[in-house]
Chains A and B, each alone.
Chain A
Amino acid sequence: MKKTIFILSAILIAGFSFGQMPEKFVKAMEPKMAAIDTTMTVQGLTDLANSFERIADAEKNQWLAYYYAAFCNASAGLMVASGGDMMASKADKTDPYADKAEKQLSKAEELMKDNSEVFVVKKMIATLRMIGDPMNRYMTYGPEAAQALETAKKLDANNPRVYLLEAQDKYYTPEQFGGNKDEAKVLFEKSKQLFETFKPATNIHPNWGRGTVTYFLSQYK
């Protein structure tokens, strides 16, 4: 019974939110969905972020457009931050991305409160802030990232992206700081398993991460 109600309300909500999305908007968003999982360059991600931002600013009430803009900017920032001396400060390069992502995500959150996906990106932004200047920021942004991920999990314990981010943290963190590739593998597998049953509310709702999980799991072979 409970399940039926849940599914019914899920369909209702999905229908409702879908109903709010103009056709033109959906048409513009759809072709970009595939690119989200495949774009791996700063230029590409920025381009994508900008195109989402254009849509967002033209529509103004579509949280998904702001959400994707923030996600792409955070991903671009994380790409900028990767490589080089891990502990060195690179905030002057990464903060502009975090600033942009934060602004866009807060707009997404205004339109869509208490959403697990929003908190997933919030976690990414906090991590981006932290790795911008780890020595000075780990005490502030470390807990902020943890808090965001915890909230994301609380809002939707079956969100595969929550476990994907958790797994990536475990994977990339050096062992002396609590990283552990074996534990990461368990989390990647959990994420993979959730992806198998995960169905986005519409074909433009967040559905990224499958490719990343497959990639990481292939690293274990």
Chain B
Amino acid sequence: MRTLAKTLFLTLFTGISGLVWAQTTITGKVTDKKNPLPLVSIVLKDTYDGATSDSSGNYSFRTSEKGEYLLIATSVGYRPFEQKITLDGKGTLTIDIVLKEEVTELSAVVISAGTFEASDRKRAAAVLDPIDIVTTASANGDITGALKTLPGAQQVGETEGLFVRGGTAGETKIFIDGTLVNNFFQGSAPNIAGYGRFSPFLFKGTVFSTGGYSALYGQALSSALVLESIDLPERTSASLGLSVIGVNGGYQALSKNKKFSWGGAYSYMNLAPAFAIIKQKQDYARMPEIQNGDINFRIKTSAKGMIKYYAYFARNRFDFTVNSIDSPGYLDRFALKNFNMYHNLSWKESIGKMWKLNMGFSYTNNADDIRSGMKDGNKNDVLLNGLEFKKFDLDLDANYFNAKLVFERRLRGLSAIRFGGEYNYSDEKSLFTIYNGQKFPDRLRENVKSVFAESDIYITNALAAKIGTRFEQSSLPDKTNIAPRLSLAYKLSKRSQASLAYGIFYQNPERRYLPSPNELDFMKATHYIAQYMTVSSVRTFRAEIFYKKYDGLIKTGFAGGREGVAVNNNGFGDAKGFEFFWRDKKTIKNVDYWISYSFLDTKRDFLNFPGAITPNFAAKHTASFVVKKFVQTWKMQFNGAYNYASGRPYYDIRFDGTKYYFADRGMVQDYHNVSVAFNYLPSIGKQNSKNFAVYVLSISNALNIKQVYGYQYSYNGLRKEQIVPPSRVFVYIGAFFSFGIDRSQDAIDRLF
């Protein structure tokens, strides 16, 4: 009835106006050349007149305006169409409109070879959401733990870090807001992997490159992990966490105008309660205890400008003994006290419409006090003949400073050019005290200065290239290098694309081999990557093949009266393989899973290797299956992960006075790990909730499968022993609360 009335009214109205004014009808069809485009808005500029195209792309409207006007057609994802028209108040004007697709992040091809992204940006390389980092069962809330379920990364459990495509953990560098992070991991003990220092909740974006990465980053032969910290919080809130391993609390305040926020958090971890129940291989005289605090502020300087500051302070200590492999009946003692301080200040700003600026500084101070020695069965210190070398103190005090400046100028469409510089400085002091009290102080200072330029060139929406070069000057070794990088991406269809990447990557010899009695040079890797990817909002398939060539790897040997020092850059190697990734959120209702598989064939001759061999950190086959199921009725998320790695080789390499040889070698058994986690989210889906609670129960290696990482040998080679995790199964129980703070109500009262 109402519609009828409206029609009548309209007819009447337009009828009358038709009588009074002369009108022109404008009609036509909107297409993208091939297909009709519905829902396009057509406007006669500065008038009320216009129309919206219907499902077959047709539009039509009448106007009583006269004279010259601009006809504009707009639709999301297309470039606006404009045409001048002259209206003379009569007749029909037929104007067919062809809209051209706009080159946008959403529709354009993505240069994605070698890259995994976890962010809420809806684009091809973003195979993970930020929340995936936290909800991957085997990750235990650790960023690198989640990345290990992606192809390219190894399942190495005895040391921390990301071992990518046949590279060592040292070949992966980690960046926060553009600048290098030193000491990303907590101080570790022999055969126990250190945990990442930074909470995954600090980051809104993660880009994990397994090769062929941008010229903005350097000094990493294999991989770059680029983390982007969160912006202003949505609201003022407090958080509280309780778990079997510790407590933490934090507060974040957001100013009323939503342009400034500040906050801080404190966490205390003590593994005593957990280790009392879950038997460890190590016998702790002092249970691992970690205290850390952080403070931050963020200032929104303009619509796109932001200053962020984050500082982190941590103290970590433990002291344990394990049965000594060198002398049965005795114990090896290892104690660590660590202090770490990290500051990161960054500023991003848009300057005019065309320019962007990114600036970052980071400073780290890291101090380790390591005590090593032997004890007898009654835990009294002993010094055994021939094993004096096991008694030492090592005090390290290191300062690192990193700065980076990047300018970006927009070109047409999505094309852009970026250039800038980076400065990395390190100053490491060490004091080595041997059993008889003799002290060996040492200090190593070095720096690397880099400049770089790269350009994203979108030739069309479907074809893009990234061309870059990086120039580095290092003080130790005193050398320079030029590293070109090139990537291409071509969109094959709406959902699929192919990419290629090539690049040369240089890295300084690890600092523990510096300075060397001989002159050293950079180590070098050359990457070749080809990728095919097809992506929809619910499914992702990605296949990649790669070849990586290593040159100039460090070889160790006998020099300056000592064995084990870096002697030259004659090491070499290569790695080749293929990888698959499949993620599916749709096929099974409410179930989201991904499967990764990596095949790796790598050999290298470096350090003390007697020749080119597959290194002990490289498994031929690696696979992960990660599944997440959300049960709405129970508000429960079930997360499971199965990680597999085929057996890695192990070696006992010894020096006979002139050369290295294999005293023993073999293959470790396959690695299996099944982890499960249950997250209970009572506040999910509640529309008006300001408070959130998450309860977590997670079990690592839930099936209690024996895991062996490798073998270690006694100093004389007579005994060998498996390297296994400190405990087979680990159970984690925790609860996290976040309280939105609103001055008008007491949030805490509401929750309980």
Of the stretches B182-190, B600-608, B630-638, B720-728, the one at the interface is B630-638
A95 and B105 alpha carbons, distance in the complex (Å) = 14
B52-93 near A? 1/0 per residue, CB < 8 Å: 101100000000000000000000110000000000000000
Of the stretches A13-21, A85-93, A186-194, the one at the interface is A85-93
Question: Is there an interface contact between A85 and B590, defined as CB atoms closer than 8 Å?
Answer: yes
A145 and B537 alpha carbons, distance in the complex (Å) = 25
Question: Is there an interface contact between B685 and A88, defined as CB atoms closer than 8 Å?
Answer: no
Question: Is there an interface contact between B130 and A136, defined as CB atoms closer than 8 Å?
Answer: yes
Question: Is there an interface contact between B41 and A53, defined as CB atoms closer than 8 Å?
Answer: yes
B478 an interface residue at 8 Å Cβ cutoff?
Answer: no
Question: Is there an interface contact between B685 and A58, defined as CB atoms closer than 8 Å?
Answer: no
Interface residues of B in 35-64 (CB under 8 A from A): 38-39, 41, 43-44, 46-52, 54-55
Question: Is there an interface contact between B47 and A58, defined as CB atoms closer than 8 Å?
Answer: yes
Question: Is there an interface contact between A145 and B590, defined as CB atoms closer than 8 Å?
Answer: no
Q: Which residues of A contact B76 (CB under 8 A)?
A: 96, 99-100
A31 and B16 alpha carbons, distance in the complex (Å) = 14
A127 an interface residue at 8 Å Cβ cutoff?
Answer: yes
Question: Is there an interface contact between B39 and A43, defined as CB atoms closer than 8 Å?
Answer: yes
A82 an interface residue at 8 Å Cβ cutoff?
Answer: no
Question: Is there an interface contact between A146 and B689, defined as CB atoms closer than 8 Å?
Answer: yes
Given A43-B39, A169-B687, A54:B106 Cβ within 8 A? no
Closest to B3 in A: A38
Q: Which residues of A contact B738 (CB under 8 A)?
A: 139
Closest CB of chain A to B634's CB: distance in Å? Answer: 8
B2 an interface residue at 8 Å Cβ cutoff?
Answer: yes
Closest to A29 in B: B48
Q: Identify B689's interface contact among A51, A55, A143, CB under 8 A.
A: A143
Question: Is there an interface contact between A85 and B687, defined as CB atoms closer than 8 Å?
Answer: no
Closest CB of chain A to B250's CB: distance in Å? Answer: 15
Closest CB of chain A to B197's CB: distance in Å? Answer: 24
A140 an interface residue at 8 Å Cβ cutoff?
Answer: yes
Q: Identify B685's interface contact among A55, A91, A134, CB under 8 A.
A: A134
B688 an interface residue at 8 Å Cβ cutoff?
Answer: yes
B607-633 near A? 1/0 per residue, CB < 8 Å: 000000000000000000000001011
Question: Is there an interface contact between B130 and A144, defined as CB atoms closer than 8 Å?
Answer: no
Closest to B120 in A: A136
Closest to A47 in B: B52
Q: Identify B2's interface contact among A34, A51, A96, A135, CB under 8 A.
A: A34
Closest CB of chain B to A197's CB: distance in Å? Answer: 22
Closest to B681 in A: A138
Q: Which residues of A contact B55 (CB under 8 A)?
A: 43
A85 and B410 alpha carbons, distance in the complex (Å) = 39
Interface size counted on chain B using CB atoms at 8 A: 52
Given A31-B9, A138-B685, A143:B537 Cβ within 8 A? no
Question: Is there an interface contact between A142 and B586, defined as CB atoms closer than 8 Å?
Answer: no
Of the stretches A107-115, A170-178, A199-207, the one at the interface is A170-178
Given A31-B10, A53-B41, A173:B52 Cβ within 8 A? no
A193 and B724 alpha carbons, distance in the complex (Å) = 71
B663 an interface residue at 8 Å Cβ cutoff?
Answer: no
Closest CB of chain B to A47's CB: distance in Å? Answer: 4
Closest to B685 in A: A177
A141-163 near B? 1/0 per residue, CB < 8 Å: 01111110100000000000000
Q: Which residues of A contact B130 (CB under 8 A)?
A: 136
Question: Is there an interface contact between A144 and B49, defined as CB atoms closer than 8 Å?
Answer: no
Given A43-B39, A50-B41, A55:B687 Cβ within 8 A? no
Q: Which residues of B contact A31 (CB under 8 A)?
A: 6, 9-10, 13
Question: Is there an interface contact between A51 and B50, defined as CB atoms closer than 8 Å?
Answer: yes
B743 an interface residue at 8 Å Cβ cutoff?
Answer: no
B589 an interface residue at 8 Å Cβ cutoff?
Answer: yes
Q: Which residues of A contact B54 (CB under 8 A)?
A: 43
Question: Is there an interface contact between B632 and A145, defined as CB atoms closer than 8 Å?
Answer: no
A134 and B38 alpha carbons, distance in the complex (Å) = 28
B686 an interface residue at 8 Å Cβ cutoff?
Answer: yes
Q: Which residues of A contact B10 (CB under 8 A)?
A: 31
Given A51-B50, A87-B590, A136:B131 Cβ within 8 A? yes
Closest CB of chain A to B14's CB: distance in Å? Answer: 10
A10 an interface residue at 8 Å Cβ cutoff?
Answer: no
A87 and B130 alpha carbons, distance in the complex (Å) = 16
Question: Is there an interface contact between B106 and A92, defined as CB atoms closer than 8 Å?
Answer: yes
Closest to B13 in A: A31
A7 an interface residue at 8 Å Cβ cutoff?
Answer: no
A54 and B120 alpha carbons, distance in the complex (Å) = 32
Closest to A24 in B: B48
Question: Is there an interface contact between B537 and A89, defined as CB atoms closer than 8 Å?
Answer: yes
Q: Identify A135's interface contact among B47, B50, B131, B690, CB under 8 A.
A: B131
A11 an interface residue at 8 Å Cβ cutoff?
Answer: no
Q: Identify A145's interface contact among B9, B120, B122, B688, CB under 8 A.
A: B688
Given A58-B46, A100-B76, A144-B234, A173:B687 Cβ within 8 A? yes
A25 and B430 alpha carbons, distance in the complex (Å) = 78
Closest CB of chain B to A175's CB: distance in Å? Answer: 9
A8 an interface residue at 8 Å Cβ cutoff?
Answer: no
Q: Which residues of B contact A139 (CB under 8 A)?
A: 234, 692, 738
Question: Is there an interface contact between B585 and A146, defined as CB atoms closer than 8 Å?
Answer: no
A28 an interface residue at 8 Å Cβ cutoff?
Answer: yes
A12 an interface residue at 8 Å Cβ cutoff?
Answer: no
Given A43-B55, A92-B122, A178:B687 Cβ within 8 A? yes
Question: Is there an interface contact between B586 and A88, defined as CB atoms closer than 8 Å?
Answer: yes
A97 and B6 alpha carbons, distance in the complex (Å) = 27
B684 an interface residue at 8 Å Cβ cutoff?
Answer: yes
A140 and B230 alpha carbons, distance in the complex (Å) = 13
Closest to B47 in A: A58
Closest to A51 in B: B50
B128-140 near A? 1/0 per residue, CB < 8 Å: 0111000000000
A38 and B13 alpha carbons, distance in the complex (Å) = 20
Question: Is there an interface contact between B686 and A178, defined as CB atoms closer than 8 Å?
Answer: yes
Question: Is there an interface contact between B235 and A138, defined as CB atoms closer than 8 Å?
Answer: no
Closest CB of chain B to A184's CB: distance in Å? Answer: 12
Q: Identify B632's interface contact among A87, A92, A178, CB under 8 A.
A: A87
Q: Which residues of B contact A176 (CB under 8 A)?
A: 632-635, 685
Interface centre among B52, B632, B689, B692 (most CB of A within 10 A): B52
Closest to B740 in A: A143
Given A31-B13, A58-B48, A136:B685 Cβ within 8 A? no
Question: Is there an interface contact between B537 and A173, defined as CB atoms closer than 8 Å?
Answer: no
Question: Is there an interface contact between A57 and B687, defined as CB atoms closer than 8 Å?
Answer: no
B675-700 near A? 1/0 per residue, CB < 8 Å: 00000000011111110100000000
Closest CB of chain A to B161's CB: distance in Å? Answer: 28
Closest to A178 in B: B686
Closest CB of chain B to A96's CB: distance in Å? Answer: 4
Closest to B738 in A: A139
Interface centre among A54, A95, A174 (most CB of B within 10 A): A54
A100 and B55 alpha carbons, distance in the complex (Å) = 20
Interface residues of A in 33-78 (CB under 8 A from B): 34-35, 37-38, 42-43, 46-47, 50-51, 53-55, 57-58
A57 and B44 alpha carbons, distance in the complex (Å) = 11
26 contacts between A and B (CB under 8 A): A31-B10, A34-B5, A38-B6, A43-B38, A46-B41, A51-B48, A53-B43, A85-B589, A88-B538, A90-B537, A92-B122, A99-B76, A135-B131, A136-B129, A142-B686, A143-B234, A143-B690, A145-B688, A146-B687, A146-B688, A173-B686, A173-B687, A176-B634, A176-B635, A176-B685, A178-B687
Question: Chain A interface (Cβ within 8 Å of chain B)?
Answer: 24, 28, 31, 34-35, 37-38, 42-43, 46-47, 50-51, 53-55, 57-58, 85-92, 95-96, 99-100, 127, 133-136, 138-140, 142-147, 149, 169, 173-174, 176-178
Q: Known pairs A43-B39, A143-B740, A178-B687. 16 more at Cβ < 8 A?
A: A31-B10, A34-B5, A37-B2, A43-B55, A54-B47, A54-B48, A89-B537, A91-B537, A138-B684, A142-B686, A142-B687, A146-B689, A169-B687, A177-B635, A177-B686, A178-B686
Closest 10 CB pairs of A and B: A177-B685, A146-B688, A47-B52, A50-B41, A96-B76, A169-B687, A178-B686, A50-B52, A54-B50, A46-B39
